[in-house]
């Protein structure tokens, strides 16, 4: 995750994306683990985020994990 597009992305967000994009599916974290990541906790713990949004995030992460072959 290099280049000008990533310069403004926080370390926490970059770390989260790297975890999600791990080529080895066996090493990729489960959705429960990703919800414990500081980048997600920052937004989920925010009262602006609703339970529906949290569920949507969870479903997308699980779909990515299950469908992605890198």
61 contacts 39 by C-beta, under 8 angstroms? no
Rounded CA separation 22/29 (Å): 9
- In tens, the pLDDT along 29-62 reads 998 898 889 988 887 666 666 666 667 777 877 7
- In tens, the pLDDT along 9-26 reads 888 989 998 999 888 989
Tally of structural domains, the chain? 1
What is the token pair recorded at 57? 């995030």
Look at the pTM and tell me if it is higher than 0.85: no
Domain around 55: 4-67
Map tokens 């066996």 to a residue. Answer: 26
Nearest to 56 by CA among 45, 69, 44, 46: 44
């Amino acid at each position: 995750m290099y280049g000008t597009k990533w310069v403004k992305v926080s370390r926490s967000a970059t770390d989260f994306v790297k975890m999600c994009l791990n080529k080895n599916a066996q090493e990729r974290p489960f959705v429960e683990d990703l919800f414990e990541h500081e980048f997600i906790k920052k937004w989920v713990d925010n009262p602006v985020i609703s339970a529906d949004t949290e569920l949507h995030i969870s479903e997308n992460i699980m779909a990515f994990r299950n469908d992605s072959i890198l």
